[in-house]
Amino acid sequence: MTRSRVEAVCLLLLAVSMAVTGWVSLGYGLWRDGLPGAGLYPAVIAFLCAACAGVEAVRTQKGYNSEAEAPAGADDEAPEWSVHGIVWSKLAIYAVSFVVLVLTFDFLGFFVSSGTATLIILLFAERVGIAKAAFVTAALLFASYAIFEILLGVHFPAPAIAQFWNP
Amino acid sequence: MLESLSGLWLGLSTILTTTNIGLCFIGAVLGMIIGVLPGLGPAATMSLLLPITFRLDLVGALILMSGVYYGAMYGGSITSILVRIPGEAASVVTCIDGYAMAKKGRAGAALGLSAIGSFIAGILATFGIAMVGPSVAELARQFGPPEYTSLVLAGLLLSTWISQMTPMRSLIMICIGLLLATVGLDPIWGSDRFTLGVPELFDGISMPVLAMGLFGLAEILLVAERLRAPNPLVASDLSLRKLFPNRAEWREGGPAIARGSVVGFFLGILPGSGAVLAAFASYVLEKRLSSTPERFGHGAPAGVAGPEAANNSATQSSFIPLLCLGIPSNVVMAIMMGALLIQGVTPGPRLMTEHPDLFWGVIASMLIGNVILIVLNLPLISVFVRMLKVPFAYLAPTIFMFCVVGAYSIRYNLFDVLFLVLAGFSGYGLKKLRLDPAPLVLAFVLGDILEKSMRQSLILGLGSPAIFIQRPYSAALLAVAALLLAIQLFGPLLAVWKKRRKNS
């Protein structure tokens, strides 16, 4: 599948989802007691977005945007698209560490979950030695604690698991 | 004129005490740190500082809080330039060319332009507030909901000019941003929209979390996918002389700073996200005035200097509606107004006559605060740039950790951390589809104002949208918006038609 076709398909999916969003917005009411309803504004925006995405999908499919430049602020070279050069395993490890963090944040608390996620990134994605990884993780956790908890008074969540040790 | 100068003199004599200078220093430094750290913004910090301000005298309390505010604007640009994470919404634009300059080894120059641009704009804005503030605020008072609707629409359409995407793609991103801003409770009826039954979404999506995900985490993923590529962010020469902007960069950045200061000053007066709008407007202006617009997005010095000057100028001019009219122009000003009210002072037109020491003290503190910030910032540029030498292997988890802590610290909410990760992957996907998230974030920030003012206008107009063209300022702004859109959409078609006609 060519890049343009994938983009066109994604834009078409976006158009459909926006049309659905517009439809859902209608359910919030367009007009109520002589005042604009909660659904008026999102419905207008969603249907406009669906129309734009639909038009853009067709334009992309027909190749009008093949010479479109990369997004502003993007790398000088356009983001890689083909699987060549992309290290999927590394990306997968990043994704796993993000998921681990989200899943364990409440249960294990900030320090254990963030520490684990950081260690996963350092050890498996960035292939840093275990001693360096442990040192960097400890330093990051300490810096986070010092800046946010001590200096700025942000209270990190205590692990839910800790309640089992409470009398 | 003389009255303003004597007022400034009164302000300087009020602020030039050890305690007030100390508070100004603490506020500016704290603000700079807050600006560097993603997540916890000036509004959150100032709300945390509110209890402390009860124990200070009113002038000192306001000096401390305003120091945090403009200090955050200085600091916000540092992470935008170095790691492409906007510390503040107003620094989103700086990410575009600032980060591109950093990747070319000109991070120091970008930081220098940003710091010096902010300083010059800050000083000019301070004098501007003293000179023309009250009369300009009078004009802004004539703006009602229809004018704001048209103004925000024009601002959003301006953002389609910044992006190098096609106008249609920019419009798509703007619409998504506007829709994301509607998540939560409806501002008029109080019913929930698009919350999917998740209680955490009732308060809406957090802007810093969205920005951190779309820019910060997405950037980590984009850089991570290039396994053996050298760190693209390494500056080649760290000698102080090489770090500062060179003559060519000054030639380009200097006029941009002057223009950005003026644009920022006037847009900052208008309620809403003045600093964000000012930065975007300045970027568009610079791109349009440039003889080499194609360099924008790839490290144009004017793309850093103009927006940075504009956002700092707007930050300071946003004090005008609060101090002169008693209308807070944004959430930070609202917190400041809260601090004033708690201490028994009602801001408004009489503030200047009833509490001249307070009014002029705050304005004079901006002069001192800007001097403190530039003195702190310039020597620290080499330290900031040295941070780029840190290998990506260590930089990635650091950014990741600070994004997570930052996201959590905003509302003490695990859902925000989850949303951060979702936004990160979405940002990565958008980049792959050649969709730029910057217009989305701008639309998200302005979405709330747009919806409220649009609905209020319709109520005022008894349901008729004709109100938008019946009022002169609103009609003029709408005409500008329509013109911007027409040029963007039909300009390329016209070019193709001309080309075909020439060929045939």
Tokens coding A129? 């030695």
CB nearest A42 (choices: B95, B179, B421): B179
**Per-residue pLDDT, A43:** 95
What's the pLDDT tens digit per position in A59-105? 888 877 654 444 444 444 444 444 444 567 788 888 888 888 888 88
A165 CB-contact burial (10 Å; exposed 0-12 / middle 13-18 / buried 19+): exposed
A32 CB-contact burial (10 Å; exposed 0-12 / middle 13-18 / buried 19+): middle
Q: Please give the C-alpha separations between residue B82 and each of B281, B420, B500, in angstroms, as whole numbers.
A: 23, 20, 45
Domain count, chain A: 2
Number of other residues whose CB lies within 10 A of the CB of residue A54: 17
Q: Are residues A54 and A92 in the same domain?
A: no
How far is it, in rounded angstroms, from Cα B451 to Cα B474? Answer: 16
Q: Are B313 and B118 in contact (CB under 8 A)?
A: no
Q: How far apart are the first and last CA of chain A?
A: 61
- A56 occurs within a structural domain: yes
pLDDT tens for the 504 residues of chain B, in order:
666 777 778 888 888 888 888 888 888 888 887 777 665 567 666 766 766 676 778 888 888 888 888 788 777 788 788 777 776 677 778 888 888 888 887 888 888 888 888 889 888 888 888 887 667 666 666 778 898 888 888 878 877 766 667 888 889 999 999 999 999 988 888 888 998 888 888 888 887 788 788 877 887 887 777 655 444 544 445 555 666 778 888 888 889 999 999 988 888 876 555 677 788 888 888 888 888 888 888 888 888 999 999 988 888 888 887 777 676 666 677 777 777 777 788 777 677 777 888 888 888 888 888 888 888 777 776 676 666 667 777 878 887 887 888 788 777 888 888 898 899 889 888 988 888 887 888 788 778 888 988 999 988 888 888 999 999 888 998 898 888 888 877 777 777 777 777 777
Q: Are residues A95 and A161 in the same domain?
A: yes
Query: Which residue(s) pair with B192 in the sheet?
Result: B185
Location of structure tokens 């009255």: B3
Q: Give me the DSSP letters along B30-76.
A: HHHHHHHSSS--HHHHHHHHHHHHTTS-HHHHHHHHHHHHHHHHHHH
B195 CB-contact burial (10 Å; exposed 0-12 / middle 13-18 / buried 19+): middle
Q: Give me the DSSP letters along chain A.
A: --HHHHHHHHHHHHHHHHHHHHHHHHHT-SEETTEE-TTHHHHHHHHHHHHHHHHHHHHHHTTTTTTPPPPTTS-SSPPP-SSTT--HHHHHHHHHHHHHHHHHHHHHHHHHHHHHHHHHIIIIIS---HHHHHHHHHHHHHHHIIIIIIIS-PPPPPPGGGGGG--
The answer, for B40 touching chain A at a CB cutoff of 8 Å, is yes
**What three-state secondary structure class fits B428?**
helix
Looking at this predicted complex, what is its ipTM? 0.85
How far is it, in rounded angstroms, from Cα A82 to Cα B334? Answer: 49
The answer, for B468 touching chain A at a CB cutoff of 8 Å, is no
Query: Letter for the amino acid at B400?
Result: F
Q: Are B202 and B406 in contact (CB under 8 A)?
A: no
Q: Are residues A56 and A93 in the same domain?
A: no
- A-facing residues of B in 420-439 (CB < 8 A) are 421, 424-425, 431-438
What's the pLDDT tens digit per position in B303-354? 899 999 998 888 888 888 777 767 666 667 777 777 777 778 877 767 777 7
**Per-residue pLDDT, B408:** 83
CB nearest B417 (choices: A90, A102, A128): A102
Helix axes B58-83, B2-15, angle to 10 degrees: 90
Domain count, chain B: 1
Chain B nearest C-alpha distance from A68 (Å): 7
How far is it, in rounded angstroms, from Cα B283 to Cα B108? Answer: 20
Sign of CA dihedral B257, B259, B265, B268: negative
- A134 occurs within a structural domain: yes
Q: Are residues A57 and A123 in the same domain?
A: no
Q: What is the extent of the structural domain holding B263? A: 2-503
Q: Please give the C-alpha separations between residue B232 and each of A75, B101, B107, B431, in angstroms, as whole numbers.
A: 10, 11, 12, 18
Which residue, B266, B256, B357, is CA-closest to B301?
B256
Q: What is the extent of the structural domain holding A94? A: 88-165
- A21 occurs within a structural domain: yes
Q: Are residues A31 and A94 in the same domain?
A: no
Query: Which residue(s) pair with B193 in the sheet?
Result: B184
Residue to substitute from A20, A136, A154, A156, interface B, most B β-carbons within 10 A: A154
CB nearest A36 (choices: B97, B404, B458): B458
How far is it, in rounded angstroms, from Cα B233 to Cα B237? Answer: 12
**Per-residue pLDDT, A79:** 47
How far is it, in rounded angstroms, from Cα B210 to Cα B416? Answer: 9
Phi, psi of B41 (to 5 degrees): -95, 180
- A71 occurs within a structural domain: no
How far is it, in rounded angstroms, from Cα A75 to Cα A80? Answer: 10
Q: Which residues in A lie closer than 8 A to residue B221 (C-beta atoms)?
A: 91, 94
Sign of CA dihedral A33, A38, A41, A43: negative
- B-facing residues of A in 84-103 (CB < 8 A) are 85-87, 90-91, 94-95, 97-99, 101-102
Q: How far is CA B340 from the centre of its chain?
A: 24
**Backbone region of residue B229 per phi and psi (left: phi > 0; alpha: psi in -120 to 50; beta: other values):** beta
What's the pLDDT tens digit per position in B439-483? 888 788 778 888 988 999 988 888 888 999 999 888 998 898 888
Q: Are A118 and A137 in contact (CB under 8 A)?
A: yes
Q: Are B218 and A79 in contact (CB under 8 A)?
A: no
Q: Which residues in B lie closer than 8 A to residue A73 (C-beta atoms)?
A: 84, 95-97, 99-100, 297, 436, 438
User: Which three-class secondary structure string do you get for B445-477?
Assistant: HHHHHHHHHHHHHHHHCCCCCCHHHHCHHHHHH
Helix axes B145-162, B472-503, angle to 10 degrees: 30
Segment (H or E) for B176: helix B167-181
Which residue, B384, B379, B319, B342, is CA-closest to B67?
B319
pLDDT tens for the 167 residues of chain A, in order:
677 888 899 999 999 999 999 999 999 888 887 788 889 999 999 999 999 999 999 988 887 765 444 444 444 444 444 444 456 778 888 888 888 888 888 788 888 888 899 999 888 888 888 999 999 999 988 888 887 777 767 777 777 666 666 55
Segment (H or E) for B185: strand B184-185
**What three-state secondary structure class fits B184?**
strand
Sign of CA dihedral B125, B128, B134, B140: negative
Which residue, B477, B446, B489, B433, is CA-closest to B179?
B446
- B-facing residues of A in 13-52 (CB < 8 A) are 14, 18, 21, 24-25, 28, 31-32, 34-42, 45-46, 48-49, 52
**Per-residue pLDDT, B346:** 78
Which residue, B181, B233, B212, B232, is CA-closest to B426?
B212
Query: Letter for the amino acid at B325?
Result: L
